[in-house]
Copies of this chain bind each other. A is one copy, B any other.
Amino acid sequence: MILKKKGLKVTPQRLEIMRYLDKNRIHPSIDHIYTQLKMKNPSLSKTTVYNVIDDLSENGVIQVLTINKSEILCDFNNDPHHHFMCKECGSISDLEDRYNFDIIEQIRSEGFRVDEAFGYFRGLCISCNNKNEKKVD
């Protein structure tokens, strides 16, 4: 059990939130998670969602994205990978692993201690870009 390993107590709220993030790899916001889980767990508090996300990210279980200035986004996948935000539909896509993080080693060699790395890109996703090009035709 990943929570026990980190010294965190196993609570229904933490399990629900982790399960939700695991099954919904859409990089949801705190409010999104809260609204979705509140339906089946009416006693859930938004503060709890904040607390759980903080605990999980501080313990390296999940990662928190700041690609968006308006709110943080949550990602169950804590492997280093880049993200693309579509300015049209707002979707956040994962970018393939092959866009690697060699750069981190270069930065380390300069004397930095690198704990976290984020690659954020913005523009139009494949789907919106296709629609956009058709309009131009």
A interface majority secondary structure: mixed
Q: Are A129 and B104 in contact (CB under 8 A)?
A: no
**Which segment, of A1-9, A39-47, A110-118, faces chain B?**
A110-118
Copies of this chain, tallied across the complex: 2
Chain A 64-103 residues near chain B, CB threshold 8 A: 64, 66-69, 72, 82, 84, 87, 95, 98-99, 103
Task: Give the residues in chain B near A106, CB-CB below 8 Å.
Answer: 98-99
Instruction: Enumerate 24 A-B pairs (CB-CB under 8 Å) in ascending A order.
Output: A66-B66, A66-B69, A66-B120, A87-B115, A99-B103, A99-B106, A99-B107, A104-B121, A110-B126, A111-B126, A111-B129, A112-B124, A113-B123, A113-B124, A113-B132, A114-B121, A114-B122, A115-B123, A116-B123, A117-B120, A117-B121, A117-B122, A118-B119, A120-B120
